[in-house]
C-alpha cells in the first residue's frame, strides 16, 4: 500500500491508478501549453524514479565488482567478461521492454488503456520462450562460452561458474523488465524505482553472505555473486508481478486476460522491439571485442577497465533514466497529437541530464583516486584506473545529450535509427580504434579508452542531427 500511496505526488491532473488510494499516473495536459518551469517539474517527476531504478539496477553489478574486487584481479576479470556474455543474451531479449514502454505510452496518450494488456502479453509471448532457449545454452555449455572471450584458464573457470548461476535467473529478469516497461509507459515510474531499490538491497545482503560465506554458508566467491543477483532478481519479478495482478490495475488495462491475443499487434510490435534488441546485442559484442583487446594488453587492463566501466555505468544512469522518462512523455504527447510538447520534453530532459551527469563528471576529474579505492586496495590497479576514469569525466556532458535524445526518439517509435547509429559507432568503429590506439600504437589501456570515447561522441552528435532534422514525430504504429 505504501508503494501505491507514494505515486500520489506526481504533478498535474492525472488519471487515477487505484481509486481507493488516490494515486495517479501521468499528466494529461498538453505539454506544449505549459510554462517551462512546470514542464521541468513534470519531467523530473516522471524521470526521477526511473533514474533511481536504473541506478539501483546498475548497482547490482557495481556491488558485485566491489565485493569480488577483494578476491583479486582474476576474479574481477572473470566477472567482467562473463557478465558481458550473459548481457549479450539477457539484455538483448530484455530490450523488448523498450517496445512495451513505447506502445503503452502511446496507447495511454490515446485513451486506449484496455489495449495495454495486449501489449504486455505480446512482449511476454515473444521474450520468455527465446530466453528459455538461451538459458539452456548457458547452463549446458558455460565453459565453451568462456573460451570465446578469455585466454586465461583461471579466468575461464571462474567465469564459467558465474555464468551457470547467472543464467538460472534469466527468465525472472526478462519478466521483471517487461512488467516494469509497462508501468513506466503508463507513467507509474515509482513502482520500478521502489522494487528496484529493494532488489538491490537484497542483492547486497546475499552478496555478503554467499561470496564470503557468512551465517554458516560455505564461501562461493565469484559464483556467489552470480547466485545473489539471480535470487534478488527472482524476488523483484515476483513483487512486480503481484502489483500487476492487483484488481484495479488488472481490470483497467486488461492484464492477463484471454482477450489479449491480438495477432495484428505482433508485426508492429516486433518492428519497434527488434532494433533495441539488435542494438544491445551489437554493443555488448562490441564490448566483448573491447575487453578482448584489453586482455591482449594485460589482465590488469581488463580488471581496471572493468572497475572504471562499472563506475561509469552508474554515472550514465541519470541520462538513461531521464531518457526513459522522456520516452514515456514523448509517446504520450504524440498520442495526444502534441508534437511540440514532445520536442519541448526532449530538450528539457537534455538539460536535466547535462546538469546531473556534468556534476558526476566533475567528481571523476577531481577525486578519481578515492573513487577507485572503493573497488580495490591494489595500488597497481588504482594507478591504472585513475587516468581512464578522468577520461570518462570529460565525456559525461556529451553522453548526457545522446542518452536523453535516444529516449525521445524511441518514444516516437524511431528505434531503428537509434540502433543504426549505436551499432555503427559502438560495434563497427570503436573496436578498431581501440585496437589502433591501444595495441598498434602501443598506448596501452589509455589508448584503448580513447576509442571508447570516440564512440560516445559520435553517438551524441548523430542523434542530435536525427532529432533536429528528421520527421520522427510523424511515425504511426
Is the pLDDT at 208 greater than 90? The verdict is no
Summarize the confidence of residues 116-124 as an average pLDDT.
Answer: 91
Can you tell me the distance from the alpha carbon of 68 to that of 204, in angstroms, rounded to the nearest whole number? 12
Summarize the confidence of residues 3-17 as an average pLDDT.
Answer: 37
Can you tell me the distance from the alpha carbon of 252 to that of 431, in angstroms, rounded to the nearest whole number? 48
Is the pLDDT at 16 greater than 90? The verdict is no
Asked if the structure places residue 158 within a domain, the reply is yes
Q: Which residues, at least 6 apart from 77, have a Cβ–Cβ distance to it below 8 Å? A: 150, 152, 155, 295, 299, 302, 303, 306
**Residue-level pLDDT at 314:** 81
Kindly state the percentage of the chain with pLDDT values over 70: 90
**Residue-level pLDDT at 401:** 95
Closest-CA residue to 189 (of 11, 47, 19, 29): 47
Can you tell me the distance from the alpha carbon of 45 to that of 350, in angstroms, rounded to the nearest whole number? 15
Asked if the structure places residue 22 within a domain, the reply is no
In this predicted model, which residue has the larger pLDDT, 477 or 49? 49
In this predicted model, which residue has the larger pLDDT, 81 or 101? 101
Asked if the structure places residue 21 within a domain, the reply is no
Asked if the structure places residue 38 within a domain, the reply is no
What does the pLDDT look like over 258-293, one tens digit per residue? 777 777 888 888 888 889 888 888 887 888 788 889
Can you tell me the distance from the alpha carbon of 121 to that of 4, in angstroms, rounded to the nearest whole number? 23
Is the pLDDT at 330 greater than 90? The verdict is yes
Can you tell me the distance from the alpha carbon of 223 to that of 71, in angstroms, rounded to the nearest whole number? 12
- Put simply, whether the predicted model's pTM sits higher than 0.75 gets the answer yes
The SS3 assignment for 304 reads helix
Asked if the structure places residue 110 within a domain, the reply is yes
Residue 24 pairs in a beta bridge with 16
Closest-CA residue to 211 (of 200, 202, 222): 222
Q: Which residues, at least 6 apart from 139, have a Cβ–Cβ distance to it below 8 Å? A: 164, 167, 168
Domain housing 450: 48-474
In this predicted model, which residue has the larger pLDDT, 456 or 77? 456
Is the pLDDT at 20 greater than 50? The verdict is no
Distances (CA, A) of 40 to 24, 28, 54, 226, 329: 18, 15, 20, 39, 12
Q: Which residues, at least 6 apart from 18, have a Cβ–Cβ distance to it below 8 Å? A: 4, 246, 248, 249
Give me the number of domains the chain comprises.
1
Residue 251, CB half-sphere, CA atoms under 13 Å: how many?
Answer: 6
C-alpha grid cell for residue 375?
Answer: 573497488
Asked if the structure places residue 253 within a domain, the reply is yes
Can you tell me the distance from the alpha carbon of 229 to that of 221, in angstroms, rounded to the nearest whole number? 13
Closest-CA residue to 230 (of 293, 320, 139): 139
Summarize the confidence of residues 411-435 as an average pLDDT.
Answer: 91
DSSP 8-state secondary structure symbol assigned to residue 348: H
Asked if the structure places residue 33 within a domain, the reply is no
Q: pLDDT-based confidence at 55, cuts 50/70/90? A: confident
C-alpha grid cell for residue 348?
Answer: 528539457
What does the pLDDT look like over 220-235, one tens digit per residue? 877 888 899 899 999 9
Q: Under a CB-based contact definition with an 8 Å cutoff, are residues 340 and 298 in contact?
A: no
Asked if the structure places residue 35 within a domain, the reply is no
Amino acid at each position: 500500500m505504501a508503494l501505491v500511496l507514494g505515486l500520489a505526488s506526481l504533478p498535474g491532473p492525472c488519471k487515477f491508478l487505484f481509486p481507493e488510494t488516490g494515486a495517479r499516473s501521468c499528466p494529461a495536459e498538453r505539454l506544449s501549453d505549459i510554462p517551462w518551469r512546470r514542464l521541468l517539474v513534470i519531467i523530473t517527476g516522471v524521470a526521477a524514479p526511473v533514474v533511481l531504478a536504473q541506478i539501483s539496477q546498475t548497482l547490482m553489478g557495481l556491488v558485485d565488482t566491489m565485493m569480488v574486487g577483494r578476491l583479486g584481479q582474476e576474479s574481477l576479470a572473470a566477472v567482467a567478461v562473463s557478465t558481458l556474455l550473459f548481457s549479450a543474451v539477457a539484455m538483448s531479449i530484455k530490450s523488448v521492454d523498450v517496445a512495451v514502454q513505447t506502445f503503452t505510452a502511446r496507447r495511454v496518450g490515446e485513451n486506449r488503456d484496455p489495449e495495454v494488456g495486449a501489449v504486455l502479453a505480446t512482449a511476454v509471448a515473444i521474450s520468455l520462450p527465446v530466453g528459455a532457449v538461451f538459458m539452456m545454452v548457458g547452463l549446458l555449455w558455460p565453459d565453451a562460452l568462456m573460451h570465446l572471450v578469455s585466454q586465461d584458464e583461471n579466468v575461464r573457470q571462474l567465469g564459467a561458474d558465474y555464468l551457470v548461476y547467472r543464467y538460472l535467473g534469466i527468465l525472472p529478469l526478462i519478466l521483471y523488465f517487461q512488467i516494469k516497461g509497462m508501468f513506466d509507459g503508463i507513467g507509474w515510474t515509482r513502482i520500478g524505482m521502489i522494487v528496484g531499490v529493494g532488489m538491490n538491497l537484497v542483492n547486497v545482503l546475499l552478496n555478503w553472505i554467499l561470496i564470503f560465506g557468512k551465517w554458516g554458508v560455505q564461501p562461493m566467491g565469484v559464483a556467489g555473486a552470480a547466485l545473489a543477483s539471480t535470487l534478488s532478481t527472482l524476488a523483484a519479478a515476483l513483487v512486480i508481478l503481484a502489483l500487476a495482478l492487483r484488481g484495479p490495475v488488472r481490470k483497467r488495462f486488461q492484464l492477463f486476460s484471454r482477450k489479449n491475443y491480438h495477432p495484428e499487434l505482433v508485426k508492429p510490435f516486433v518492428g519497434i522491439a527488434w532494433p533495441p534488441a539488435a542494438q544491445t546485442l551489437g554493443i555488448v559484442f562490441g564490448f566483448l571485442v573491447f575487453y578482448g583487446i584489453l586482455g591482449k594488453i594485460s589482465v590488469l587492463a581488463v580488471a581496471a577497465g572493468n572497475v572504471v566501466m562499472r563506475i561509469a555505468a552508474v554515472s550514465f544512469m541519470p541520462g538513461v533514466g531521464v531518457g526513459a522518462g522522456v520516452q514515456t512523455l514523448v509517446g504520450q504527447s504524440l498520442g495526444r497529437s502534441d508534437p511540440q510538447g514532445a520536442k519541448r520534453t526532449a530538450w528539457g530532459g537534455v538539460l536535466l541530464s547535462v546538469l546531473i551527469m556534468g556534476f558526476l563528471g566533475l567528481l571523476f576529474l577531481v577525486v578519481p583516486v578515492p573513487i577507485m579505492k572503493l573497488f580495490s586496495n591494489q595500488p597497481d590497479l588504482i594507478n591504472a584506473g585513475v587516468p581512464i576514469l578522468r577520461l570518462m569525466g570529460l565525456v559525461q556532458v556529451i553522453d548526457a545529450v545522446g542518452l536523453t535524445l535516444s529516449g525521445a526518439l524511441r518514444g516516437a517509435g524511431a528505434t531503428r535509427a537509434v540502433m543504426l547509429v549505436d551499432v555503427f559507432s559502438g560495434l563497427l568503429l570503436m573496436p578498431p580504434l581501440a585496437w589502433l590506439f591501444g595495441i598498434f600504437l602501443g598506448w596501452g589501456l589509455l589508448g584503448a579508452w580513447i576509442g571508447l570515447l570516440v564512440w560516445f561522441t559520435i553517438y551524441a552528435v548523430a542523434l542530435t542531427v536525427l532529432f533536429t532534422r528528421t520527421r520522427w514525430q510523424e511515425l504511426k504504429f
